[in-house]
Structure 1
Amino acid sequence: MPGPLEGVTVLEMANVITGPYAGMLLADLGAEVIKVEMPGTGDLFRHWAGDKNQFSPPFAAFNRNKKSVTINVKTTRGVECYLRLAASVDVILENFRPGTLDRMGVGYNAVKEINPRIVYCAISGMGQSGPDSHRPTYDAIAQALSGLWSQLTEMNDPEPVGPPLCDQLGGLYAAYGVLGALLHRAGTGQGQRLDVSMLGAAMGFQTNAVAGYLMQSDVADKFSRAKRSQTYAFVAADRRPFAIHLSTPDKFWRGLADATERPDLLSDPRFKTKTDRIANYEALRAELAGVFETRDRDEWVERLQARDVPAAPINTIAEALDEPQVRHLEMVRTFGQGDEALELVGFPVDYAVTPAEPGDRPPLVGEHTDSVLRSIGLGAEDIEGLRSESAI
């Protein structure tokens, strides 16, 4: 069944995560996404960490449901070929450093001349202008500069943490921005350029922390949100971790006291109200840590859930994929067919009328070059000529 973006064609001139993730999200919604890669090598993620496969796990993670064409825009004929393709599409995604594609003759101004309706999304680390726009930026740099990292680690002993949040937030905001620009174009016929930066995406994501600082001069740290939301993590007797959330309503707090057989906590003046528990977060955490060391995790989670207290094991990815609710949501889907099929995480939005259904596996380098170029009017001799000049 066609997805909601059926009929939209996207040209993805991007490597690694931010651009490819945005492209994949649009592809999951039914857009035709044509990935432009350098002949021979392709996306840098294809052989990440020495992987000799055509698509390493990092490449597969961000590149399903796409077509791949190889065009060398460092050649004159390659530029001509790229622009001919750009003239036929609705959206362009690129994540090169600001000015790079302009210098090659394939940037926004060149495309706008031949395709004024284009929705052109330029993704960068720091933005297209400003004092730091020229800086090389990766996920860790955007996390650090934006203040996001400060809420994920101890500042006196900082460590790298978690998945590439800023990379994927940049891709998510880019896809979101493209949808808005397409809607605007549908009503006005007007294309436009979008500027999405990893730094801006990271700042925009931190609505709560920024509001807290601007309104109350509160500088968020690793435990700020945990204290306010009354979120706790403990290790059970079997050394397996689990999480508890006690924010509201108050029945969660009473249920925890009952599950732990500690009714005295309810009358303890340090913990009587939610405000008290926020102020004495560390003391309550210490009280409960000793209690939760007396039984295994499964027993604690069962006791808490029986009293409607939000609680769950802190799973590894392997454990998460085995969760009954995750399986029910069908979050692991099969992309492609036969021996080339891959199991990957699926699209998390369930449309009732235009579902995002599993599609194709990630493409091989240049797998669709000939068919895509034929679709824009190039014949066999044209294509062979481009190939002989190393333009494709």
Structure 2
Amino acid sequence: MQALDDVTVVSLESGISAPLCTRLLGDFGAEVIKVERPGVGDVNRHWDSVVYGDSSAHAWVDRNKLSVELNLKSDEGKEIFHDLAEEADVVVQNYSPGVVERLDVGYEDVKEINDDVIYLNVSGYGRDGPYSDRKAYDMVMQGETGLILMNGSPDAPAKIPLSICDINAGMYGAMSTLLALFHRERTGDGQEIDVTMFGGMLSWLGYFPHKYWHNDETPDRVGMRHHLLTPYGPHETADDQYINFAILSEPHWEALCTEVLERPELATDERFDANEKRVENRDVLEPEIESIIAEKSRDYWAERFAEAGIPWGDVNQLDEVLDYPQTEHLDLVKELETEDGPVPYVENPIDFEHLEYQQEPMPDLGEHTDAVLESLGYSDDEIEALHEDEVV
């Protein structure tokens, strides 16, 4: 059984945020109809060509979808979209500010023909307010929400390599859609939803706002260390590897000093006998810990951390984590069969007892246009005419 069987999603999507949202819905069984610009498609199709000529981004976010090429600037294209939206449970869009309203495919337009529709807007800043007309991309949003200046080493800020702001919006988008579907199941009411990258990332800032509100503290860049805890993070070993560990409590700290490092005097040093003190004196403590760890090999320290019951782990390259024993045990890497060959992918990580996932390969541009039009009742002659007129 798939959780979203019989749920239809029509998406006006581009990039990563909305496409990831709808892919998650597709994973759970929704029929996702991806509306794309004729002859061009989603911008994410063109970022590279590493997957048998398709892009890695397209392979990541566009599985479990039908692709329909549709010219929304034409009257016929609008009519076809309205036909699709009339039958949809959910409409998703993350076009540039104001575009769906200009094209007559916004919430108010869809609500006139489908009053219980759930209409999700994914945007950078929201559809009103002082920044509502700004386009937003992941790199821009990492800067806007403070991530870049708190990330990196003391001598240089850095962006987070993942499209974390897009991922945030995609996850909140999927969650909000599921909540709205649940609400409609109870009440019969559809609704419009706004998910913003800006608001989503602010909600992920965690304890940092509280450190500012209550202690007038903004985060310094600490590289591989932790802003709130120390010792914490990867430490280089004598054989040019890393051991990664986390001291989360006072028993952990005592075990580190006495059982792992064999330096009991550190545990009783008044400068280090509470986490806040250790953070205040990190300029003294962290170099000391680093020098001790650098004396022995990674395997030596791994054994000692494991025996002491302190959280520890490896610092893996991407190829290592994709081939990691736990990755294999959890069956997280699978393959989609395509006409070009197998496409490995990372499976949805949620393990349900009774629910199944849907896994179909990402669509070619316009692959399902004719089939979707046929399902709407268009004849072969009408479909041919739409092609000739470049509507589809």
TM-score w.r.t. the length of structure 2 is 0.93
Residues 278-297 of structure 1 mapped to structure 2, 5 A cutoff: 278-297=279-298
- Equivalence map 1:225-244=2 (5 Å): 226-230=226-230, 231-244=232-245
Structure 2 CA distance for partners of 1:99 and 1:206, relative to 1, 3 Å? same
RMSD: 2.1
Q: Counterpart amino acid of 2:294?
A: E
For residues 243-283 of structure 1, the C-alpha deviation after alignment (integer angstroms, 9 at most, x for no partner) is 21001251454145422232332222322233332322232
CA-to-partner distance for each residue in 1:314-358, whole Å, 9 max, x for gaps?
A: 11211111221121111112223575331111101111111335x
Quote the residue 1:22 is aligned against.
21
- Match in the other structure for 2:265: 264
| CA distance in structure 2 between the aligned counterparts of 1:335 and 1:6, rounded to whole angstroms | 21
1:1-392 aligned at under 5 Å gives the runs: 2-49=1-48, 53-154=52-153, 157-223=156-222, 226-230=226-230, 231-248=232-249, 250-251=251-252, 253-255=254-256, 257-336=258-337, 339-356=340-357, 359-392=359-392
Supply the distance in 2 between the matched residues of 1:256 and 1:328 (Cα, whole angstroms). 34
Amino acid across the alignment from 1:174: G
1:348–1:252: structure 2 CA closer, same or farther, 3 Å change rule? farther
| 1:53–1:106 distance in 2 versus 1, CA, 3 Å | farther
Query: What is the distance in 1 between the residues matched to 2:298 and 2:93?
Result: 46
TM-score, L = length of structure 1 = 0.93
CA contact (8 A) 2:78 2:105 kept: yes
d(CA) in 1 for partners of 2:143, 2:331: 35
The one-letter code of the counterpart of 1:376 is: L
The question of whether the paired residues in 1 share the 8 Å contact of 2:11 and 2:35 is answered with yes
Distance 1:54 1:20, change over 3 A: farther
Range with bigger deviation, 181-190 or 159-168:
159-168
Q: How has the CA–CA distance of structure 1 residues 155 and 380 changed in structure 2, closer, same or farther, with 3 Å as cutoff?
A: farther
Q: CA deviation at 1:367?
A: 1.0
The structural deviation recorded for 1:307 is 1.6
Between the aligned partners of 1:379 and 1:324, the Cα distance in structure 2 is 53
1:208, distance to aligned residue in structure 2 (A): 1.9
Quote the offset at 1:185 in angstroms.
0.9
CA distance in 2, matches of 1:290, 1:340: 50
Question: Given that residues 68 and 369 in structure 1 are in contact (C-alpha distance below 8 angstroms), is that contact kept between their aligned partners in structure 2?
Answer: yes
- C-alpha separation in 1, matches of 2:49 and 2:27: 28
Q: How far, CA to CA, are the matches of 2:326 and 2:253 in structure 1?
A: 22
Moved over 6 A (4+): none
Give the letter for the 1:13 counterpart: L
Q: Is the 8 A contact 2:153 2:222 kept in 1?
A: no
**1:209 Cα shift?**
1.6
Residue 157 of structure 2 contacts residue 221 of structure 2 at CA under 8 Å; is this kept in 1? no
Give deviations 1:293-317, integer Å, cap 9, x for gaps.
1222233223211221111111121
Deviations 1:101-149 (A, max 9, x none): 1101212111111111111111111111111111121111111111122
Deviation for aligned residue 1:51: 6.0
- Percent identical residues: 34
Structure 1 contact 167–198 (Cα < 8 Å) conserved: yes
- List per-residue Cα deviations over 1:58-104 (Å, max 9, x = no partner): 11111111111111111111111111111111111111122101101
- Shift, 1:10, TM fit: 0.7
Structure 1: gaps (5+ residues): none
Local SS of the residue matching 2:112: helix
Q: Which runs of 5+ in 2 are unaligned?
A: none
Q: Is the 8 A contact 2:51 2:343 kept in 1?
A: no
- Does structure 1 conserve the Cα–Cα contact (< 8 Å) formed by 2:150 and 2:157? no
> Following TM superposition, by how much is the alpha carbon of 1:38 offset from its aligned partner in structure 2, in angstroms?
1.2
1:220 deviation in Å?
2.8
Query: How many Å separate the matches in 1 of 2:315 and 2:302?
Result: 11
| Amino acid across the alignment from 1:297 | R
SS at match of 2:105: coil
